Amino acid sequence: MYEANPYQSDIENILSHRGDNGSDLWTTEDRRLLKGSPFNTLESALYLLELGIPADDPVMKDAAELIFSTWQEDGRFKVYPKGGIYPCQTAFALRTLCYLGYADDERLKKTVEYFLETQQPDGGWKCNKYSFGRGEETEYSTPNTTLMVLDAFRYTELLNHDSRLEKAVDFLLQHWVIRKPISPCHYGIGSLFMQVEYPFRGYGLFYYLYVLSFYHTVKNDARFCEALEKLKERTIDGRIVVERVVPKLAKLHFCKKGCISELGTKRYHEILRAAE
């Protein structure tokens, strides 16, 4: 079906996992959309997009419909049938659907409203799950959740036209200075953060810079420029070398650990163009 795609084997590999969790489209029978990482519904659709599968492909449209089936009237997404709904889960669902081309859907506009209404005083968004106790560091918002929200919001008309997003950007840039683990989830900036992870899966230097590069306020910000220099130091001849990838993705050619990634380099060059 995708014979002309140079990453045909990777695409087939990802598609081969679509029933691993007990139901189709990388989910479970009770629609747990983040079950089975890294081959879950919310992530697998993003891998396929990165590999060139169009958003209007039947598989992608079916995945989007599945994600929308967990949407709630208040704008949140219940990606697990039981338990609480955390902002990071809704941010992940919103991000994936925006990537799939649904940013103008009325349901997602409600989700955008939900995030604007729940923005914290420090500019970010916070998951109130205190797994590490309630130290003073937990007063901060959650960096990874904030990064995913900003990733989704770049598909909206708010991009570079709303001071609330500028405040969220500044929160993330301030974390570059703070460095220590903050938020109830303890996201920090250390050696793991600095490793080049691709595809974008978590809170790391490459994804951090990629999302922030869409926001004009970072262009001449010393914190962003310093972070970008750190990423440049990790490239070879201006090309991205994958330093970290989860073991289950290790067999995929587009993100082999220790190797240059052409698709990752494409994302890196987007950052460089935005920083000019």
Looking at residue 1, its pLDDT comes to: 56
Does residue 190 lie within any of the structural domains?
A: no
Does residue 242 lie within any of the structural domains?
A: no
Looking at residue 233, its pLDDT comes to: 98
Does residue 35 lie within any of the structural domains?
A: yes
Does residue 53 lie within any of the structural domains?
A: yes
Task: Give me the mean pLDDT over the 214-232 stretch.
Answer: 97
At 92-104, the pLDDT tens digits run: 999 999 999 999 9
Q: How far apart are CA 144 and CA 124, in angstroms?
A: 10
Does residue 130 lie within any of the structural domains?
A: no
> Which residues neighbour 99 within 8 Å (Cβ) at sequence distance 6 or greater?
45, 46, 49, 55, 155
Q: How far apart are CA 181 and CA 187, in angstroms?
A: 5
Looking at residue 114, its pLDDT comes to: 98
At 19-34, the pLDDT tens digits run: 999 999 999 999 999 9
Residues spanned by the domain of 109: 1-118
Domain total in the chain: 1
> Which residues neighbour 205 within 8 Å (Cβ) at sequence distance 6 or greater?
193, 194, 195, 196, 227, 230, 231, 234
> Closest Cα partner for 112 from 76, 84, 86, 69?
76
Q: What is the amino acid identity at position 41?
A: T
Looking at residue 2, its pLDDT comes to: 61
3-state secondary structure the chain: CCCCCCCHHHHHHHHHCCCCCCCCCCCCCCCCCCCCCCCCHHHHHHHHHHCCCCCCCHHHHHHHHHHHCCECCCCCECCCCCCCCCHHHHHHHHHHHHHCCCCCCHHHHHHHHHHHHCCCCCCCCCCCCCCCCCCHHHHCCCHHHHHHHHHHHCCCCCCCCCHHHHHHHHHHHHHHHHCCCECCCCECCCHHHHCCECCCCCCCHHHHHHHHCCCHHHCCCHHHHHHHHHHHHCCECCECECCECCHHHCCCHHHCCCCECHHHHHHHHHHHHHHC
Does residue 191 lie within any of the structural domains?
A: no
Task: Give me the mean pLDDT over the 189-195 stretch.
Answer: 98
Looking at residue 133, its pLDDT comes to: 72
More confident residue, 2 or 17: 17
Token code pair at residue 61:
């449209």
Judge whether 187 and 143 are in contact, CB under 8 Å: yes
Share of the chain above pLDDT 90, in %: 93
Does residue 248 lie within any of the structural domains?
A: no
Does residue 58 lie within any of the structural domains?
A: yes
Q: What's the longest Cα–Cα distance across the chain?
A: 54
Q: How far apart are CA 207 and CA 59, in angstroms?
A: 26
Query: Residue 3 pLDDT more than 80?
Result: no
> Which residues neighbour 117 within 8 Å (Cβ) at sequence distance 6 or greater?
none
On average, the pLDDT of the chain sits at: 96
Q: How far apart are CA 77 and CA 80, in angstroms?
A: 9
At 122-171, the pLDDT tens digits run: 999 998 877 767 789 899 999 999 999 999 999 999 999 999 999 999 99
Looking at residue 99, its pLDDT comes to: 98
Looking at residue 134, its pLDDT comes to: 77
Token code pair at residue 54:
């169009």
Looking at residue 127, its pLDDT comes to: 86
pTM of the complete model: 0.96
Looking at residue 83, its pLDDT comes to: 87
Burial class (CB in 10 A: 0-12, 13-18, 19+), 28: middle
